[in-house]
Amino acid sequence: MIAILDATCPLRQKAEVVRFVEQRGLRVQVSELETRTLVGILGGGDEALAAELRALPGVREVRTVAPPYPLVSREHHPSATVVRVGDVEIGGDEVVVMAGPCAVEDEAQILRIARAVAASGARLLRGGAFKPRSSPYSFQGLGQEGLELLAAARAETGLAVVTEVVAPEDVELVARYADVLQVGARNMQNFRLLSAVGAQPRAVLLKRGLMATIEELLMAAEYVSSAGNPRVILCERGIRTFESATRNTLDVSAVPVLKEKTHLPVIVDPSHAAGRRELVPALARAAVAAGADGLIVEAHHAPETAASDGRQSLTLEAFDALMRDLARLAAALDRRMPRAAGITSGS
């Protein structure tokens, strides 16, 4: 439920409305807009409350059919949220690219890939230290050692680090090393994990579940935000459909739909959507053309020997070529991309 107050409503009346709602044990979110003030009532409120609110001085309108995710909805917060990670702004004019291997394998691997993707213009380094694998027999990641290697790669290249956390009890450990905590597709509705990443200050990259609707993704983001962390970046990474020509089906339309429904930044992972590296550049371009704030892309110096997701990982040369293409596309769309040295001269 949202109460809409006149912009001219005196502070005292606004405070009165907030106190009125809080006295009934409900939490509020106040957004000051140019022409009005919105008082979002978190977790509901019934018709009787709506009628009482309508009778209060300064209340212009009460909407009872507001989205169930008030903190992340655009209705409450019409201007786009920019999530800052170091000197990188996600959700602004720049098309921000995060890149790296699916998993951290060893020091030489992560340093080599980090140097190359940095030279190609990536702004964040990705790499899993804790891997949620479909099979218990597959490589599960290096754990804390992987986090240490990511931190070493950051120290050398200056790239911020995004890495996955798979369990609430690991949040503190991962947050000690990472700049952005990734919640993977399989954990999008792990509500204890969402609350745990919401209770710490690092930005969160929240990936859409394989079978999740856009509304479920937004509700998952609401969990993180309501636990105290508004720095959430959403990621469309392909959903499961009847189609088997690709690993998943990239839901390009999720980008403009999310942009309409939420103020949070939206990025796309073309690698897990495609499942095959040949398709990754086309999906990456489609995502940027559709209005994505950025991309997260898997790249590896030797994809054929990668410990995981080699089939969908771009070679470092292919990643460099993609970045050049994206820079042209970004310019055509009035978006920015950092000028890159390229891997031949830069690494």
Residue of the chain from 102, 153, 279, 314 that contacts Mn ion (CB under 5 A): 102
Q: What residue 112 binds from ligand PEP, Mn ion, none (CB within 5 to 8 A, per partner kind)?
A: none
Closest contact distance (angstroms) between CB of 126 and Mn ion is 9
Which H helix or E strand runs over 2? strand 2-6
Closest contact distance (angstroms) between CB of 11 and ligand PEP is 45
Tell me: does residue 99 bind ligand PEP (CB under 6 A): no
Q: Which is nearer to ligand PEP, 41 or 102 (CB)?
A: 102
Quick one: tokens of 256? 């403009």
**Binders of ligand PEP among 280-319, rule CB under 6 A?**
none
Choose one: 83-91, 182-190, 194-202, 326-334; the region binding ligand PEP (CB under 6 A): 182-190
Quick one: tokens of 243? 């189609």
Tell me: does residue 207 bind ligand PEP (CB under 6 A): yes
**Binders of Mn ion among 217-276, rule CB under 5 A?**
none
Buried b (16+ CB within 10 A) or exposed e, 47-60: eebbeebeebebbe
Q: Which is nearer to ligand PEP, 79 or 241 (CB)?
A: 241
Quick one: tokens of 71? 């903190």
With H, G, I as helix, E, B as strand and everything else as coil, classify residue 169.
helix
Choose one: 18-26, 54-62, 178-186, 284-292; the region binding ligand PEP (CB under 6 A): 178-186
Q: Which is nearer to ligand PEP, 20 or 130 (CB)?
A: 130
Tell me: does residue 185 bind ligand PEP (CB under 6 A): yes
Residue of the chain from 309, 323, 335, 337 that contacts Mn ion (CB under 5 A): 309
Question: Residue holding tokens 């489609």?
Answer: 286
Quick one: tokens of 303? 């994809």
169 closest CA partner among 147, 150, 146, 195: 195
Closest contact distance (angstroms) between CB of 200 and ligand PEP is 20
Distances (CA, A) of 128 to 73, 102, 133, 242, 307: 30, 6, 11, 28, 11
Q: What residue 179 binds from ligand PEP, Mn ion, none (CB within 5 to 8 A, per partner kind)?
A: none
The residue number whose beta carbon is nearest to ligand PEP equals 184
With H, G, I as helix, E, B as strand and everything else as coil, classify residue 259.
helix
Helix pair 47-54, 11-22: axis angle to 10 deg = 160
Choose one: 34-42, 111-119, 181-189, 310-318; the region binding ligand PEP (CB under 6 A): 181-189
**Binders of ligand PEP among 123-162, rule CB under 6 A?**
128, 132
> 17-25 — which CB contacts under 8 Å span 24+ positions?
17/53, 17/56, 17/58, 17/59, 20/52, 20/53, 20/56, 21/45, 21/49, 21/53, 24/49
Q: Which is nearer to ligand PEP, 132 or 342 (CB)?
A: 132
Phi/psi region, residue 102 (left: phi>0; alpha: psi -120 to 50; beta: rest), is: alpha
Note the residues at the interface with Mn ion (CB under 5 A).
102, 309
Note the residues at the interface with ligand PEP (CB under 6 A).
102, 128, 132, 184-186, 207, 237, 269, 272
